[in-house]
Structure 1
């Protein structure tokens, strides 16, 4: 059955350039899910915060998919950590938009906790059921980020309320499911495990020599690739340090390509992590072996994945991680941290290797094992392609998600609320004076 679906992604627009500080896996996931739900026959509207005045409010993006910009605060770029005070305005403008539609929305799918907060208000006022995918959990983030976590203190309480009011919660991987159960006391029956995926039309193996020619890196030396958002938690410094170990202890003159950033040219001003990594490479003597490319168009990324001998991703923690899937789809073995989604998507000794985070010597040892053995790289790369094609295409993800939607719509009943305000009403950000009327 065809439905009209609203995907909420307040800070992660499907139109954003990937690789910047606030543009990564969630942007990709929302975009791909919307496109593939539309291919299944659903009408999909993606709601995101309006941050660029040059873009119209409503964009007919792809067949069956619109991107709708909702004004919440100034029409300007704002770090996601500072968006919570604008979420009541976001909710009310969305509700107003919903009421103007001739065809009502069947279901809301919220992405991230702030979108979940908005979805609660939509459900309370319009009785539209919703699903939530958190993409990252506040309690897990605090465990690793500690004082550097700049999200509001009430994030945990908001997440708890969103979980209570959601018709279903999607976990991206078994670790995500375990965290929801252990840290948020979510009933296992309320959780549906649906991973992110990769686009098989964009990511597939390309001849290595051709790929290196196309990216302008025709070296015969081994290439390590790090690709994605450039922020400290991604642990790229760990990769730079392991490169020095490869050179000094294993005699392997490998090159490291670092793809990502907020501009197409590497700019330490726009992407501070680039400056920090450049300085680290200089200090440990591998500056000439590390190349920063800046961001790249997604249609060009398969050439970078295919040009590399090994893809490396060693974050401190990772709620899921889409880039390892893309690398494996291109036939490149992955060495990744045994954290979050990576420890489930990368099959240790089958499609790559898993290593502890923040241990450059352990990382270097696994990289050396692959770089010394071409047959092993080919074997793991071939197995990687088969693995992701069987389990992680966006088509499969969309189909699983659509089944969940149908289950919810088959069982969803008009929601009733207590005579007092729901807990969500007590969680208004201190920085705003707006009050949302919650239907009783």
Structure 2
């Protein structure tokens, strides 16, 4: 357990269930901890992260060593509220920072909380456009060692059955928001003309989305493609599947940020994605992949089709994507830019 007196940044995580925010904290904090005294606070986080316990909260009343205050880096409303209470009511020496990935107009309550922040970060230009407060854009990065062309391929019966096949992949929870049905519709349209390709969908089905998944399975069976559009379920090593995919498709109707296109490109896999989340800011159109209107299965199929037919195009896009991610989106860049935001807060007037 870290010494609270030395902790300069607290990254709260007040949600036990795994989410994109939690995943960001899990990946980012270890990289930040290499250069800054940071600790997490909250449930559902792995043991390897530097953590504070709830009983440590009263210790935040004391200034950290070497600084006038700590940075409380919130990513949810409840975490902003906790920071406001601690700073304004309990008079703890804190500066409050909020990171917003939302791509929608905020509620009045959220706008009020944001107005109480000392600093705001947006994860994309699109996210920043919905904010009423000044914000700096710090886009997410990924671990380019974990996601790379080099490493193990998937193992198990499913992977073995696909040996020698071309694979177009789609990853994420099976639900309407994620556009799984749009991917299935595109595959039903395309696969009969491309007999050497198989579609693989990774991701779990929650109880509330079981009927949605069952309907998709019925549509696939009716098209005679049960052996070529496969549901892999939740996989142990998604990085291995990104290496195995020959093309990756990200079809969400809406998204906060969306890391999977970066993870695919870092694996030298070209991407076709909807214009959701930050995808249009991650993909170099016509170079590392394609971006199509969200919710349009026909446009999705039209963008996918050339990649299934043209290996030279596919390989060129994969190589360009790998170079693009390594140059623009390493996790180290995100950690460095957030460090600059913290420094600006520390050097600002009280």
Pairing partner for 1:392 from 329, 332, 340:
329
Partners of 1:117 and 1:162 within 8 A in 2: yes
Which of 7, 20, 36 is equivalent to 2:31? Answer: 36
Q: Report what 2:3 is aligned to.
A: none
Deviation at 1:111, TM superposition (A): 1.0
The answer (yes or no) to whether the contact 1:242–1:364 under 8 Å persists in 2 is yes
> Across the two proteins, how many residue pairs are aligned to each other?
338
Rounded Cα–Cα distance in structure 2 between residues aligned with 1:387 and 1:6? 31
In structure 1, the residue matched to 2:72 is: 108
Deviation digits for residues 60-82 of structure 1, max 9, x if unmatched? 524xx2264x5xxxxxxxxxxxx
CA contact (8 A) 1:311 1:335 kept: yes
Distance 1:365 1:23 in 2: 34
Query: Residues of 1 paired with 2:305 and 2:163: CA distance?
Result: 18
Structure 2 unaligned regions, length at least 5:
1-5
- Distance (whole Å) between structure 2 residues aligned to residue 106 and residue 212 of structure 1: 43
Counterpart secondary structure, 2:121: strand
1:277 alignment partner, one of 211, 216, 231: 216
Match of 1:61 in 2: 48
Match of 1:234, SS state, is coil
Q: Cα deviation per residue 1:113-148 (whole Å; 9 max; x = unaligned)?
A: 2222222222213241111012325637xxxxxxxx
Contact 1:29 1:197 in 2 (8 A): no
Does the CA contact (< 8 Å) of 1:173 and 1:193 recur in 2? yes
Q: Alignment partner of 1:350: what SS?
A: coil
TM-score by length of 2: 0.87
Q: What SS class does the counterpart of residue 169 from structure 2 fall into?
A: strand
Q: Which among 186, 191, 197 is matched to residue 135 of structure 2?
A: 191
SS at 1:339's partner residue? Answer: coil
* Aligned counterpart in structure 1 of residue 230 of structure 2, from 291, 297, 307: 291
Contact 1:113 1:134 in 2 (8 A): no
User: Counterparts of 1:254 and 1:246 in 2: how far apart (Å)?
Assistant: 9
In the superposition, relative to structure 1, how do residues 229 and 127 fare at CA in structure 2: closer, same or farther (>3 Å)?
Answer: farther
Name the structure 1 match of 2:82: 118
Cα displacement (A) at 1:213: 5.8
CA gap 1:67/1:253 in 2 versus in 1, 3 angstroms: farther
Specify whether residues 108 and 102 from structure 1 end up closer, same or farther in structure 2 by C-alpha distance, changes over 3 A only.
closer
Give the conservation status (yes or no) of the 8 Å contact 2:70–2:93.
no
8 Å CA contact 1:173, 1:344 repeated in 2? yes
Choose from 114, 123, 141 the match for 1:172.
123
Matches within 5 A, 1:141-290: 156-180=107-131, 185-186=132-133, 190-206=134-150, 211=153, 215-248=159-192, 250-252=193-195, 254-261=197-204, 269=207, 272=210, 274-290=213-229
Q: 1:133 to 1:232 in 2, by over 3 A?
A: same
Cα distance in structure 1, aligned partners of 2:330 and 2:194: 38
Indicate the SS of the match to 1:245: helix
The SS at the match of 2:153 is helix
Q: Alpha-carbon deviation of 1:406?
A: 0.4
In structure 2, the CA distance between the partners of 1:360 and 1:195, relative to structure 1 (3 Å rule), is same
What is the CA RMSD across the aligned residues, in angstroms? 2.7
1:7 aligns with 2:11: yes
Residues 62 and 93 in structure 2, CA contact (< 8 A), matched pair in contact too: no
Counterpart secondary structure, 2:249: strand
TM-score, with normalisation over the residues of structure 1? Answer: 0.70
What is residue 261 of structure 2 aligned with on the other side? 324
Q: CA 1:335/1:138 → structure 2, altered by over 3 Å: closer, same or farther?
A: closer
Contact 1:106 1:128 in 2 (8 A): yes
Structure 1 residue 99: Cα displacement: 4.3
Deviations 1:231-251 (A, max 9, x none): 321111100010000034x44
- CA distance in 2 between partners of 1:269 and 1:282 (Å): 21
Whether contact under 8 Å (1:6, 1:45) holds in the other structure is: yes
